[in-house]
Amino acid sequence: MNAKRPLIAVLTGAGISTDSGIPDYRGPQGLWRQDPTAQELVTIGPYRADPEVRRRAWRMRLETGARGARPNAGHLALADLERSGLPLRVLTQNVDGLHQEAGLTARKVLELHGNTREVQCLRCRVVGPMAEALARVEAGEPDPACRECGGILKPRTVMFGENLDPEVLGQADSIARACDVFLAVGTSLQVFPVAALPYAAVESGARLIILNAEATPYDEAADEVIREPISEALPVLVRRLVRELVPDRA
């Protein structure tokens, strides 16, 4: 590794937030395992075309528990990792904002799929607070429209069928290629282009550690694969990495 303190890149997926009450998509108890039609709710084509899909999507946003979610031990462990002094960047597929709420410096978190704190109109592109849109749903509007133009509102997230922001993806690729250690936490590593990031890291010589409940396509390429619950295993892993990589903590 470099003489300087090694850069750690952490790619997080839905699995890190399940202990905060936010269900994942593909896991054993995931939304799509329980209801395969739920994928429509986060796919731009059906969402744009079908008012009933949008009504279901708004109900899901009210009922999944995401609004009251709080950081769990996994999120807090990554905040501890930053406080250790090791250079850290978190690349997250999640849209819940829990990394920042746990104490991670906002500029060190790259939100690959946007966030659910805001909504955006598909027609006029105006942006507004998600809390206001959800309040309208609770008040009886099953599919709240844009107040500016009457267009369709969606979370300010990247839905399936939409492209990631190329600038954000480019930043993520640069971080993956520059890091010394790449952690993949709670992600199936099945959805491209984000799933290419571990390959970019390994190709550039990084150590790859995967912490996920189920097998991923990268397990054989990893230096270490951990199958234990994230909220239990990630704090242990962080403490071990700090002992290994911060000499004055040994």
Residues recognised as catalytic: 113
C-alpha 139/C-alpha 29 separation (Å) is: 30
Token representation of residue 229: 């619950």
Give the list of residues 6+ apart from residue 170 with CB closer than 8 angstroms, or none.
none
Q: What is the 3-state secondary structure (H, E, C) of 185-241?
A: ECCCCCCCCHHHHHHHHHHCCCEEEEECCCCCCCHHHCCEEECCCHHHHHHHHHHHH
Contact 170, 202 (CB under 8 A): no
Token representation of residue 89: 């960047």
One-letter amino acid at 155 equals P
Helix axes 51-63, 130-138, angle to 10 degrees: 100
C-alpha 248/C-alpha 129 separation (Å) is: 44
